[in-house]
Amino acid sequence: MSRVVIRIRIVGLFLLLALLSGCSSAVDVGELRGMVGDEPVVLLSTSSCGYCRKLRADLRGWGVEYADFDVETEEDGMRAFALANGRGVPILLIGDKLLYGYSPDRAHELLLAARLLPQS
């Protein structure tokens, strides 16, 4: 392969990496916390989301108290969703950790680590 082709590929790779790094923006959890309050566990959801219903049932089953913000009907929910760089629901905020999507095992791990399960 010629040096020119190699250099073009390297430059292309750097440009691609630069574009991808610009697409992801870090969430300011402090600002998000300012929006949703001090409740240790916060759920960003919608009323029609099946995975949100499942996650609510999991949290209730584990005995976890949480604040629930509807991202479609509540202004604070919409703002929190934007601050969390939401692309879908559910989004679960546990302490300063964000969990995107329905992942009950990971949610349980984070709750255990934060000592937020009643039996922990």
Classify residue 36: in a domain, yes or no.
yes
**What is the tally of structural domains in the chain?**
1
Classify residue 17: in a domain, yes or no.
no
Domain ranges, residue 40? 25-113
Classify residue 11: in a domain, yes or no.
no
Classify residue 5: in a domain, yes or no.
no
SS (H, E, C) the chain: CCHHHHHHHHHHHHHHHHHHHHHCCCCCHHHHHHHHCCCCEEEEECCCCHHHHHHHHHHHHCCCCCEEEECCCCHHHHHHHHHCCCCCCCEEEECCEEEECCCHHHHHHHHHHCCCCCCC
Ordered per-residue pLDDT tens for the chain, 120 residues: 688 877 777 766 666 555 544 444 689 999 999 999 999 999 999 999 999 999 999 999 999 999 999 999 999 999 999 999 999 999 999 999 999 999 999 999 999 999 999 875
Classify residue 4: in a domain, yes or no.
no
pLDDT at residue 44 in the model:
98
CATH number at residue 48: 3.40.30.10
pLDDT at residue 10 in the model:
75
pLDDT at residue 17 in the model:
55
pLDDT at residue 31 in the model:
95
Classify residue 12: in a domain, yes or no.
no
pLDDT at residue 21 in the model:
45
Report in angstroms the alpha-carbon separations of 31 from 18, 26, 35.
Answer: 26, 12, 6
pLDDT at residue 22 in the model:
43
pLDDT at residue 53 in the model:
98
Classify residue 57: in a domain, yes or no.
yes
